[in-house]
Each structure stands twice: as C-alpha cells, then as structure tokens.
C-alpha cells in the first residue's frame, strides 16, 4: 500500500492498485508459506501465474525476503529511473529474472495456464521431462472470468485430467466499476460452470467465526439465507454496521435473529469471509493439491480493498484508490497493527521487520523449506546443435519442372526437421484443425497426434496409409478449432527453454487470417515472454487464396506483425527463401539463444520453385535481394520492381512484357520482409540524427538500390502501407500496389484484377511513373490501358 501511495505522491497519476492485493493477501500468503514450490536441483518447482494487478503485494513480499532493494521499491512504476524500478505489472521483457508470465491482459493467464499444464504432461509423455508432481497455479479475479479466454478452454483441462492445474479465483465480488454480479452470485455461477465442465470445485466462502452459527443451523435456514442474499447485498454488508447486518441479513427470519442474539454488533461486523481466513484457505489448498484426476478451482470469497476502511474497503471506487490521506493511513496501520509511529505515518514509510524477527525468519524458513523464492525466471538451458546444412539443400536446388506451393515446401521442411536426429524430437507442430488444408496429414502417421490416453478406438481410416493416428508419445498438438488455445501451446513450447530448460521448437501452422487479428494480444504476450518459435500463416495472401472471400483472405497480417518488437516477419516467394529463414531462425533462437520469434507466410499457389541464385542468403534475411536483372540490355527506359510472396511471379511476368513490348529494362527484387527493411531504415536514421558529425549510416535498402536506374514500383498481396513504409529511403518516388479493401470470392486471376496487383497493373504503374518523370508521353499509357484491357472506371477495391 505504501509503495503505491508513495509512487503517486512522487508522480501524480502514475497509478497502481492497492485494493486487489488487499483482498488477496491471505490467499497469496498461505500459498507462499505452505504450497508454492520453488525450482531447484531436486524439484522443478511450481508454475505460478500471479494476478497482474496484485503485483505490488508480490513486490512487497520479495522485499521482505531480501530479494528487492528499497530503491527499486521506491521506483515502483518508474522503470526508467537510473537506478532501475519495478515495472507496473508482470513483464518478463522488463524484469527477465523475476517475472515469468505476463498476466495483466486479463483472461490470457487462465488460458495460458491450462495449455501450460497440458504441455507439461506432453513433455512427460514424450520423455522430454521427468514426471513430476509440480502444479500450475493461477490466481485470477472474479471480474476476469467474464473474458472469453478465461473460461473458453476449461473443458480441455478436465478432458485431459489435468490434476496439475489449480485456479484460485479471488471472488471479491467487484471489478473496476462496481459489482461483478450485483443482482446475482458470481461464486454460484462459476461453481456451476466449472462443475459442469468436470472440475473439482472448492468454495472458501465463510470464515471460521461463522462455524458456530452454521453448526446451529439444523434446519438450513442460515444456508438458505446465505444463498438468497445477492452479491450486491454482500458488498453492502462489507461496509455496513453490525446493526444493519443484524436487521437486514439476519432480520428476514426471527429464527436467524435468534441465532445471533448473543453476538454484539462489532462481532457481527467482524464475521469474516473465507478468503481472509488462513485456517479456511489452507485446507482448501491442501485438498486441491491432493486431488487426483481433475483440475481444481478454488472460489474464495473476499472483500475488495480489505483493510482500507473508509478509504475503499468494499466501495465501488476502491479499484482506483491510490492515495490515502494521513487519517486513513493511521487507521490502516492500526488495523493491521503495524509498529509505525503516528508522526512517521504521514510519509507512508516502508515497514520491514528486522532480519532476526520471528516474522522474517519464518517467512524465509518457509521458502527455504519449499525450495526457494518465487516468482523467479531463470534460464538454465544449453544451446542446441544446429541441424545440418544438408537438410536444407534440396530446397536450394529448386523444384525443377514440378510445380510446388510454398506451403508444401514448408511442410516438407518440417517433415525433414522432425527426422533430424538431434533436434527432431524438439519440434512441436501445432495445428488448429487445419492440417489437411496445409497438406500435413502425412505427419499424422509420421510422428502421431499427441493424446495423453493414446488411441482408445479403431480409427475409421485405419486401413489407409495416412490414418489419423493418436498416440501417447504423439508429437503433433492437434488443438481443434482454437487459435487462442494453439497460441497458448505455442507460448508454452516456445518458453520451455526458460520454464523447464528444454529447447522445444514450436511450429504453429494456421490460417493466416485467424492469427494476428484474432489472437493479437496473445502474440503480444509471447513477445513479452521472450517466446521462441515459428508462427506459420498458411493460405496467406489476399488474392492468392482464391474463392474463400472476405473473411479468409489475409492481406494485412504482415502489417499487424509490425508492432511486435522481437518478431521477425517474412513474406517469402520461394522455397529456398523459406529454407534460409528457418535455418537462420533456428540458429539465432536456439544456438545463439536470442529472444526472437518468427512469422512466415506461406501460400497455396503452385509454381516451379527456382534454384537459389548465388550470394542471396544475406539479402533474404535482411529483407530484399536482386532476383533477376532485365534481359533487355538496350532499353533506354528503366524500372526497379519489388515483389513479395506469390505476387513476385506477376512482377516477373511484368518484367518480361516491359522489356519485350515497352522498351523498359526492369530489374526484379524479391522483398522478403518490409518489416526488416523498415526497422533497419529507422535504426540508421536514428543513429544519423544522434550523430550529426559522423559519416552517415546508409539503410540497407538505400544501399541496395543506390545505382539502380529508373522508376520504382512495388507489388505485394498485402496492404500498400508495407512498401510505403520504406519508400522514404529510396532515391526516387515509389508506386505501391497492394490489396487494400475487403476480399471477394473469386479466382486468383479475377482477384488480382480486382485488387489491381497483377502483371498488367504493374506495367501500368511503371508506365505511369515514367510519364510523371517526363520520360514518356501520356498517350503511351493511354494505349497501354487499352492494350492491357484495364477498365479505368472500375470501382476502387479499397472502398468497394
């Protein structure tokens, strides 16, 4: 509390939360002192997701344990102070030795925890980790259960018998604005949901001082009254006088009134909620850890802002309360019996009992007994041995006469990686019910689909070569139709290097449209967590995925990939480009142990995959390289064409026609990543700005095209802002073609005409640019429009 109050005195409006932890303190303390096991040589430790807004309490405890300095506490919410600070919420990116899991985007921690618990089993079933009784604990708010992600995956946990999973829902009956269910009862509601889903439900509702009353309740009238009273009523009782409680709660029945006639008003007011009573919490936790065969949820009733009194206890404003005045501070210290003098209290000092005090000794002893301190993030993981160059060679050679889609290429690469003797077992293919779409069904048989119980039935296609094979040691995580669940598995696998010291390499292959725009927040969390692995967006490209129409055709996932700082995003055209990217990705993430992850789009259009030209590997990784010079050496007119993904083929066709028919020598560049080019440009520009007297650094893209003659045209299957983002570093203006607008159900050819990204529009853009540069007359463009059969009055796809 003092940490938040002081932070806000130092910096008005810096924020923070007091009331969340105030309501959950006993829930955490009992766990810390008796249940949560630390990671050490003899035990892998429990995995704990702390409720994000409770972080001040977790910091305070770490300070008492001697793990955080007083300076860092003083700098709560001020990460940028010179001597360091404590970040507002759990962020492994900012405190990589402390926090493991970002939890503050509410709803993400419960779903991540479920898939984490399942992934722990997966590692055990596949022999990658020793079986263990370690638990995954998740502390969450009752308001948080309204997030679809919180409850959306709970049946997975029961179906998979995840008795290594425990949810603790702090039911303080309030969220930010007011009651969670004023007119209802959140605990009863959650109980029925979890029980229906097959969970072990433990309710911690009433404190010990209700026990004598309950034992007198022979005919159940007290329980009936408890069940009738609404959450809105209970919230009122938490701030009301004993007299009000007597009249209102017990006043509905003379027999109830009789039950409490010997209790004073003060005693009535002090009737505790179970979540504030360690003697009730302990047995609940004990029952949870001893439960076999199903996950457990503990629904603990508490009071939000417990102990804040007039300053916020049980009030609707309590969530936002960050300032206490002198009077309120005095009452707080009195209530919790904190030995600070009345003179000192106005400063809101930190109180730490001496190291040899009973309290500190006890706290440290308990942690020692339980295996060490929590939370702690510690990477103890050896680098892997990189897969051999040989594995990728086939892709460098091209596909000869065979027409192959990049999707087929990446699936083949995955199949080969799975066979590699060093890293094969570490690969974790993850699919949300889309394996057949991507031609991955051969992998079903090759490595099997993971199932904790194996395959208890005879599969309908058992006779076929590629039957649906489920196995206890199956390697594929076939998640069903849940991108959020699949991403949670990706996160568990991609952070196993830190959580378990195991270098699992996830490949999450999904419909690219249902990635960033559907589960962007989980991807953000993955970045925060320093997650590794490959996200593979299949059926990508707004005009390449024919027929599917508006909802499926992705033309913007690469734009949505821009903001994630440690994500590399590539839109490759050819199999060899993918091979280079994956080889380098494995090297950087798992050999060099860099905290990066990758997004690669692959498409389902088939074409001959060319062999890799000499010396292009570096360019592929940096974002662009010259793929083909113009064959027309005589031409007076020039152009530089940028193409990405399958649209590169349109660019190559345009190059040919421009040379043959229009006398334009056009060079073609394969742009594998606008994001890489953009970040490189920003980096160089920033350096130049900060070092005005030194020799200017040149962006890679500028370097590439510095001597390239002619006009610039870029075409991709994505929104035009991608090429536009790098145009500032070109020597002359750029015309971008792309797929802004809603998709359509149509053929590839029709779509590329509609979005104006086919070879004809590329030619048009080149010719138009040449007129603007006064290199040719507008009549030539007029004629080309006719020759190329382009309709100038067609609707603009961007707005139609």
Ligand X SMILES: Cc1ncc(C[n+]2csc(CCOP(=O)(O)OP(=O)(O)O)c2C)c(N)n1
Min separation Cβ 171 and Mg ion, Å:
7
Min separation Cβ 106 and Mg ion, Å:
10
- Which positions from 35 through 74 interact with ligand X, judged by CB under 6 A? 53
Whether 449 contacts 72, CB under 8 Å? no
Give all strands (DSSP E) within 547-612, no chain letters.
567-570, 597-601, 607-608
The C-alpha atoms of residue 610 and residue 612 are separated, in whole angstroms, by 6
> Per CB under 6 A, which region of 135-143, 330-338, 345-353, 443-451 contacts ligand X?
135-143
Count the residues of the shown chain that bind ligand X, applying the rule CB under 6 A.
19
Min separation Cβ 15 and ligand X, Å:
11
Q: Could you tell me the two tokens for 330?
A: 């005095």
One of 57, 90, 141, 741 touching ligand X (CB under 6 A):
141
Q: Could you tell me the two tokens for 81?
A: 């102070």
* Residue 301 binds to ligand X (criterion: CB under 6 A): no
Min separation Cβ 516 and ligand X, Å:
17
Q: Is the CB of 319 or the CB of 679 nearer to Mg ion?
A: 319
Min separation Cβ 319 and ligand X, Å:
6
One of 33, 105, 188, 446 touching ligand X (CB under 6 A):
105
Provide the sign of the torsion angle of the four alpha carbons 38, 40, 42, 43, taken in this order: positive
One of 57, 143, 242, 307 touching ligand X (CB under 6 A):
143
Cis peptide before 375 (omega within 30 of 0): yes
Element (DSSP H or E) covering residue 94:
none
**DSSP-assigned letter for residue 206:** B
Element (DSSP H or E) covering residue 458:
none
The C-alpha atoms of residue 287 and residue 538 are separated, in whole angstroms, by 45
Q: Is the CB of 147 or the CB of 483 nearer to ligand X?
A: 147
Beta-carbon contacts of residue 337 (< 8 Å; ≥ 6 apart): none
Q: Is the CB of 147 or the CB of 605 nearer to Mg ion?
A: 147
The strand order across the sheet containing 136-141 reads 47-49, 136-141, 165-171, 296-301, 200-204
Min separation Cβ 758 and ligand X, Å:
42
* Residue 20 binds to ligand X (criterion: CB under 6 A): yes
Residue 798 interacts with, from Mg ion, ligand X, none (CB under 5-8 Å by kind): none
* Residue 110 binds to ligand X (criterion: CB under 6 A): no
Q: Could you tell me the two tokens for 529?
A: 């967590």
Residue 106 interacts with, from ligand X, Mg ion, none (CB under 5-8 Å by kind): ligand X
The C-alpha atoms of residue 525 and residue 355 are separated, in whole angstroms, by 37
Q: Could you tell me the two tokens for 114?
A: 């479920």
Min separation Cβ 29 and ligand X, Å:
16
One of 172, 200, 655, 769 touching ligand X (CB under 6 A):
172
> Per CB under 6 A, which region of 72-80, 101-109, 395-403, 679-687 contacts ligand X?
101-109
Min separation Cβ 143 and ligand X, Å:
3
Q: Is the CB of 147 or the CB of 595 nearer to Mg ion?
A: 147
Q: Is the CB of 23 or the CB of 269 nearer to ligand X?
A: 23
**DSSP-assigned letter for residue 612:** P
Residue 6 interacts with, from ligand X, Mg ion, none (CB under 5-8 Å by kind): none
One of 142, 483, 528, 650 touching ligand X (CB under 6 A):
142
Angle between helix 575-586 and helix 406-419 axes, rounded to 10 deg = 40
* Residue 322 binds to ligand X (criterion: CB under 6 A): no
Q: How far is CA 204 from CA 109, 193, 293, in A?
A: 22, 17, 21
Q: Which residues in 320-352 are b (16+ Cβ under 10 Å) and which e?
A: ebbebeeebbebbbeeeeeebeeeebeebeeee
- Which positions from 542 through 601 interact with ligand X, judged by CB under 6 A? none
* Residue 104 binds to ligand X (criterion: CB under 6 A): yes
Q: Is the CB of 23 or the CB of 489 nearer to ligand X?
A: 23
The residue ranges that bind Mg ion (CB under 5 A) are 141-143, 172, 174
The residues that bridge with 576 in the sheet, in sequence order, are none
One of 46, 144, 217, 231 touching ligand X (CB under 6 A):
144
In the stretch 173-212, what mask flags binding to ligand X with x, by CB under 6 A? -xxx---x--------------------------------
Which residue, 597, 156, 62, is CA-closest to 363? 62
Min separation Cβ 53 and ligand X, Å:
5
Q: How far is CA 26 from CA 22, 33, 401, 703, in A?
A: 8, 10, 69, 61
Min separation Cβ 203 and Mg ion, Å:
16
* Residue 170 binds to ligand X (criterion: CB under 6 A): yes
Q: Is the CB of 311 or the CB of 612 nearer to Mg ion?
A: 311
Q: Could you tell me the two tokens for 4?
A: 């938040």
The C-alpha atoms of residue 61 and residue 297 are separated, in whole angstroms, by 25
**Residues near ligand X, by CB under 6 A:** 20, 23, 53, 104-107, 141-144, 170, 172, 174-176, 180, 304, 319
């Amino acid at each position: 509390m003092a940490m938040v109050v002081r932070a806000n005195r130092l910096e008005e409006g810096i924020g923070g939360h007091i009331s969340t932890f105030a309501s959950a303190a006993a829930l955490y303390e009992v766990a810390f002192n008796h249940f949560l096991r630390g990671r050490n040589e003899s035990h892998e430790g429990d995995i704990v997701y702390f409720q994000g807004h409770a972080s001040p309490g977790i910091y305070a405890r770490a300070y008492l344990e001697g793990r955080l300095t007083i300076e860092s506490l003083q700098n709560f919410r001020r990460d940028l102070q010179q001597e360091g600070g404590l970040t507002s919420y759990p962020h492994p990116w900012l405190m990589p030795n402390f926090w493991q899991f970002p939890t503050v985007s509410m709803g993400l921690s419960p779903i991540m925890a479920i898939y984490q618990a399942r992934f722990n089993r997966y590692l055990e079933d596949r022999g990658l980790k020793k079986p263990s009784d370690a638990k995954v604990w998740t502390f969450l708010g009752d308001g948080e259960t309204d997030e679809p992600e919180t409850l959306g995956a709970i049946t997975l946990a029961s179906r998979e018998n995840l008795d290594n999973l425990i949810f603790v829902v702090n039911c303080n009956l309030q969220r930010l604005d007011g009651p969670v269910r004023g007119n209802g009862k959140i605990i009863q509601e959650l109980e029925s949901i979890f029980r229906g889903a097959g969970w072990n439900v433990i309710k911690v509702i009433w404190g010990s001082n209700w026990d004598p009353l309950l034992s007198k309740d022979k005919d159940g009238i007290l329980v009936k009254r408890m069940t009738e009273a609404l959450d809105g009523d209970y919230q009122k009782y938490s701030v009301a006088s004993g007299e009000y409680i007597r009249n209102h709660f017990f006043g509905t029945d003379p027999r109830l009134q009789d039950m409490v006639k010997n209790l004073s008003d003060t005693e009535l007011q002090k009737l505790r909620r179970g979540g504030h009573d360690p003697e009730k919490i302990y047995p609940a936790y004990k029952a949870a850890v001893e439960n076999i065969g199903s996950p457990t949820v503990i629904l603990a009733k508490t009071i939000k802002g417990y102990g804040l009194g007039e300053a916020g206890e049980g009030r609707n404003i309590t969530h936002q309360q960050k300032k206490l005045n002198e009077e309120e501070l005095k009452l707080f210290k009195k209530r919790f019996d904190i030995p600070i003098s009345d003179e000192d209290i106005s400063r809101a000092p930190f109180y730490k009992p001496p190291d040899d005090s009973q309290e500190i000794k006890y706290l440290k002893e308990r942690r020692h007994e339980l295996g060490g301190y929590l939370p702690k993030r510690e990477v103890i993981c050896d680098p892997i041995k990189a897969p051999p160059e040989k594995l990728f060679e086939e892709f460098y050679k091209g596909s000869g006469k065979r027409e192959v889609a990049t999707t087929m290429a990446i699936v083949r690469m995955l199949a080969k990686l799975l066979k590699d003797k060093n890293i094969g077992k570490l690969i974790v293919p993850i699919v949300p019910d889309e394996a057949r779409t991507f031609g991955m069904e051969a992998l079903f048989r090759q490595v099997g689909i993971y199932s904790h119980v194996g395959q208890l039935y005879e599969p309908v296609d058992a006779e076929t070569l590629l039957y649906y094979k489920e196995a206890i040691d199956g390697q594929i995580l076939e998640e069903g139709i849940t991108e959020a669940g699949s991403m949670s598995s990706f996160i568990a696998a991609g952070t196993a290097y830190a959580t378990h010291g195991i270098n699992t390499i996830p490949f999450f292959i999904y419909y690219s449209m249902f990635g960033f725009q559907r589960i962007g927040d989980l991807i953000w969390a993955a970045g925060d967590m320093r997650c590794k692995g490959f996200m593979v967006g299949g059926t990508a490209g707004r005009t390449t995925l024919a027929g599917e129409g508006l909802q499926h055709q992705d033309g913007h996932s690469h734009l949505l990939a821009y903001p994630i700082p440690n994500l590399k995003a590539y839109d490759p055209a050819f199999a060899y480009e993918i091979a280079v990217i994956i080889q380098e990705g494995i090297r950087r993430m798992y050999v060099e142990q860099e905290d990066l992850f990758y997004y690669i789009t692959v498409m389902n259009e088939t074409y001959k995959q060319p062999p890799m030209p000499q010396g292009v590997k570096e360019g592929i990784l940096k974002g662009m390289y010259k793929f083909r010079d113009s064959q027309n050496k005589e031409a007076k007119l020039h152009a530089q064409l940028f193409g990405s993904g399958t649209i590169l083929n349109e660019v190559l066709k345009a190059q040919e026609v421009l040379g043959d028919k229009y006398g334009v020598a056009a060079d073609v560049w394969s742009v594998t990543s606008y994001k890489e080019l953009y970040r490189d440009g920003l980096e160089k520009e920033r350096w130049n700005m900060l070092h005005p007297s030194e020799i200017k650094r040149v962006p890679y893209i500028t370097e590439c095209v510095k001597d390239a003659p002619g006009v610039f045209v870029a075409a991709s299957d994505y929104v035009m802002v991608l090429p536009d983002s790098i145009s500032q570093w070109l020597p002359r203006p750029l015309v971008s073609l792309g797929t802004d607008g809603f998709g359509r159900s149509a053929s590839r050819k029709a779509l590329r005409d509609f979005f104006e990204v086919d070879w004809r529009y590329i030619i048009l853009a080149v010719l138009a640019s040449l007129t603007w540069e006064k290199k040719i007359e507008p009549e030539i463009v007029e004629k080309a429009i006719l020759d190329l059969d382009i309709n100038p009055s067609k609707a603009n796809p961007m707005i139609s």
